Structure 1
């Protein structure tokens, strides 16, 4: 692993540990109703977006994320590194969890979902995190900025605009959020491995969990 990569991962982990406690959606734990709703749910739904796919029976890692969340942005390089290290052995799944207090988190998620409808989920996912510091933490809508990203990716803009305007696209995002809430997600990023919610403080802890899950 290159030194620069190690350094990026170190920064990501540090920010994750320092900020995870304050990036929350609710101050209260899930209600009894929400816990009941979680029965039968899995961390990765059938329609969830898979960044990397391993064979059936291999570990499944799920991240509930908010594209405007700076902790998610800090963790992003580390997740990408793990995807490379465990390619073909661990499935990586990304699910939407736009935090209401982030003014453009829903706009970003809708833009990513609209891109996903053209088979470009991963490309737009990466674009959002690669440019996060340019548009996040601002009060005005950045929907036009996200549309520009779609143009840069060469998407069919008529189809993209139609998807962004379609209430079903927002409903798809909200479905992830609702299921995440029912599963006990209260902030971002929240990680699951084989449906078990994780409480981790470093990339190496994730590697240890992955290796244990891969052990016959």
Structure 2
């Protein structure tokens, strides 16, 4: 499994365009070489590459749906690290696609915490704990919208995350129990193992109707969704 380069604690993400992030990150994959991340741009016809051949579902019964357009709709699956800057950059585009294709596109978010990010696994556990109280989307949004506040810090961010739970109105004793429950971490680990089996090596990685997609810009992302809608 690949790791991500770790900025100095408290370093803020440099401004950049979403197009740049999609071109470099979602346009290819990350490979670990001597604990460094090497970005490789994969040239795929029409922006798609076949998904890895593995007896692993892209969507499980307990996968988290950000949007559910029902049977027959195209399904967009994202393997995401909540501490990943590139994921945070792509997050607004995914939200725009959800709104634009509401009722026509199913969107599923899966965990893929990278070991080079000190709080990524904990953040995923926190989001999963919130999901137990019906607040998956609320906590998922909070993580990306506040990422610069808590990411890439060596100190535990547990108190910050518990504050998010309080802000969302969660029952805190229930939240605390879920965070401490090994089954919550196991649920996060299942997504991680599935992603690895499917060939995911970095984040964000997206699949659309079973194929890995490689959008190079927000408009190209929309074009790929339009193609999937036309095919269905």
Same fold (TM over 0.5): yes
- Find runs of 4+ consecutive structure 1 residues off by over 3 angstroms: 18-28
Is residue 13 of structure 1 aligned with residue 19 of structure 2? yes
Counterpart-to-counterpart distance in 1, 2:26 and 2:88:
12
Flag the structure with higher strand content.
Answer: 2
Flag the structure with higher helix content.
Answer: 1
Counterpart-to-counterpart distance in 2, 1:104 and 1:213:
35
Q: Find the counterpart in structure 2 of residue 142 from structure 1.
A: 157
Q: Find the counterpart in structure 1 of residue 118 from structure 2.
A: 103
Contact 2:26 2:214 in 1 (8 A): no
Return the match for 2:187 from 172, 185, 210.
Answer: 172
Question: 1:57 is paired with a residue of what secondary structure?
Answer: coil
Return the match for 2:80 from 65, 69, 72.
Answer: 65
Q: Find the counterpart in structure 2 of residue 3 from structure 1.
A: none
Q: Find the counterpart in structure 1 of residue 49 from structure 2.
A: none
**Number of residue-to-residue matches in the alignment:** 199
Deviates more, 1:118-127 or 1:39-48: 39-48
Alignment of 1:36-75 (within 5 A): 39-75=54-90
Counterpart-to-counterpart distance in 2, 1:90 and 1:166:
33
Residues 28-66 of structure 1: per-residue CA shift (max 9 Å, x gap):
9xxxxxxxx963322122211000000201100000000
Contact 2:26 2:205 in 1 (8 A): no
Deviation at 1:138, TM superposition (A): 1.1
Q: Find the counterpart in structure 1 of residue 9 from structure 2.
A: none
Deviation at 1:16, TM superposition (A): 3.1
Is residue 124 of structure 1 aligned with residue 118 of structure 2? no
Counterpart-to-counterpart distance in 1, 2:205 and 2:224:
15
Unmatched tracts of structure 2, length 5 or more: 1-15, 35-51
Contact 1:113 1:169 in 2 (8 A): yes
Q: Find the counterpart in structure 2 of residue 208 from structure 1.
A: 223
The alignment's TM-score, normalised by the length of structure 2, stands at 0.81
Counterpart-to-counterpart distance in 2, 1:179 and 1:46:
13
Contact 1:60 1:91 in 2 (8 A): yes
Q: 1:102 to 1:24 in 2, by over 3 A?
A: farther
Counterpart-to-counterpart distance in 2, 1:145 and 1:172:
22
Deviation at 1:198, TM superposition (A): 1.2
Unmatched tracts of structure 1, length 5 or more: 1-9, 29-36
Contact 1:104 1:142 in 2 (8 A): yes
Counterpart-to-counterpart distance in 1, 2:129 and 2:121:
12
